Structure 1
Amino acid sequence: MPYEAPPELAGLSLAEVAELVGSRKLPPIASWDPPADGDSKMRIAANGEWFHDGGRITRPAMVRAFASLLRREGDGSYWLVTPHYKQSVEVEDAAFIAVDLRAADGALTFRLNIDELVIAGTENPLRAEGTPESPAIYLAVRNGCEARLDRSTWLQLAEHGLSENGLAEGGSLVVSSMGTEFELAPA
């Protein structure tokens, strides 16, 4: 049974999606280098839920606000960053979860668990980890952070790849978005 994107995503053209992505104003945390640091007592679980001091953060707007300040450093550590202070955040797997997919107009648009849209391409590549029997697909989001595709989104992506391209030589599955190809089998 072919996957159908939800109405709020299916009704958008690629230009409209790109406009929504571009209009999201995020703080310039990549340029901030605060002198002080500490521990936020925050954790992002593998299923994308956010916790503070052991309690789950249940307000989506608060999670989105924290997510806009999240940065991953080259050593793999995660930080909430402001101009004057940064606090460490424990991340079990990926900072975000990709919960939906729309394939149209030569682009793969993913909706994240924080209600943000990301278009896969050279700036937001897909990468495969795990094993061929149990792959994990990640999408680069911003500031070193990634989203892991949840099971249904991974299946949507695989179905799209098979219907568009079939299997490549050697039996690997390849998808393309914005002119960039991504292999979905772990190396």
Structure 2
Amino acid sequence: MPEKRAPIDISGKSLADIAALLEDRSLPPVERWNPGHCGDSGIRIDRDGRWWHEEREIERGAMVRLFSTVLRREPDGSHVLVTPAEKLSVAVELAPLLATAMTSEGEGAARRLAFQLNRGDAVIAGPDHPLRMAGEVPLVDCGRGLEAAVARPVYYELAEIALGEGADPPGVWSDGAFFPLVAAGSTGE
């Protein structure tokens, strides 16, 4: 099945261009679909954002992107693939998505950060899409209760920004909101 939505590539694009691309995107209305639970999908998403089906990695990026468009987080914190007709459990080790690249514009409180996601979309961090720490891993909210783990190279970029700006605790600004890059309960020292 050919992809109907070309993946977004944030490299070389301004945040205004990325925001315009995101305005034109829509995802299936999974929040309106409430079929009965039909079982387990046999899919597991590991800590590195790799998708597995019955212990074999799903290597087709287009398939992962398609599945991720019908992924939803349930009120109990579990994850499911949902269509109008069925709902299947998915095991998620850390986060179902991965932020694989980042673009930054501005400085300090005027900074804006966009993250490219492995599902072919992007997200601009801010009040509607906050960053938080889960232990030593930053997660960015992607809507629908889904989060993306920030890949290690991207985390190093975030840390460089945070250390360069000298906030205490270390953190980054994006879209008018400040996000500490220290584990909850940590003093940042």
Instruction: Tell me, yes or no, whether TM beats 0.5.
Output: yes
Q: Give the distance between the partners of 2:90 and 2:23, measured in 1 at CA.
A: 27
Contact 2:22-2:122 within 8 A present in 1 as well:
yes
1:53 aligns with 2:54: yes
> Which residue is equivalent to 2:148?
147
Deviation at 1:10, TM superposition (A): 4.2
Deviation at 1:161, TM superposition (A): 1.9
- TM (norm. structure 2) is 0.85
Q: Give the distance between the partners of 1:23 and 1:161, measured in 2 at CA.
A: 31
1:177 partner amino acid: S
> Which residue is equivalent to 1:119?
124
Name structure 2 gaps, 5 residues minimum. 1-8, 185-189
Contact 1:36-1:84 within 8 A present in 2 as well:
no
> Which residue is equivalent to 1:95?
96
SS at match of 1:9: coil
1:166 aligns with 2:159: no
> Which residue is equivalent to 1:71?
72
Q: Deviations over 1:146-170 (max 9, x none)?
A: 111111111100111222x2132xx
Q: Deviations over 1:113-168 (max 9, x none)?
A: 233211101111000121xxxx21110112111111111111100111222x2132
With over 3 angstroms needed to count, the CA separation of the structure-2 counterparts of 1:67 and 1:99, relative to structure 1, is same
- TM (norm. structure 1) is 0.86
Contact 1:103-1:160 within 8 A present in 2 as well:
no
1:158 partner amino acid: A
Alignment of 1:34-53 (within 5 A): 34-53=35-54
> Which residue is equivalent to 2:182?
185
SS at match of 2:179: strand
Coordinate RMSD, CA, aligned: 1.4
Q: Give the distance between the partners of 2:42 and 2:12, measured in 1 at CA.
A: 40
1:84 partner amino acid: A
Contact 1:35-1:85 within 8 A present in 2 as well:
yes
Contact 2:10-2:122 within 8 A present in 1 as well:
no
**How many pairs were matched up?**
172
Deviation at 1:94, TM superposition (A): 0.8
> Which residue is equivalent to 2:113?
108
1:176 partner amino acid: W
- Bigger mean CA offset, 78-87 vs 18-27: 18-27
Q: Give the distance between the partners of 1:10 and 1:92, measured in 2 at CA.
A: 28
Deviation at 1:50, TM superposition (A): 0.8
> Which residue is equivalent to 1:24?
25
* Structure 1 residue ranges (4+ consecutive) displaced by more than 3 angstroms after TM superposition: none
Q: Give the distance between the partners of 2:162 and 2:35, measured in 1 at CA.
A: 43
Contact 2:171-2:179 within 8 A present in 1 as well:
yes
Deviation at 1:23, TM superposition (A): 1.6
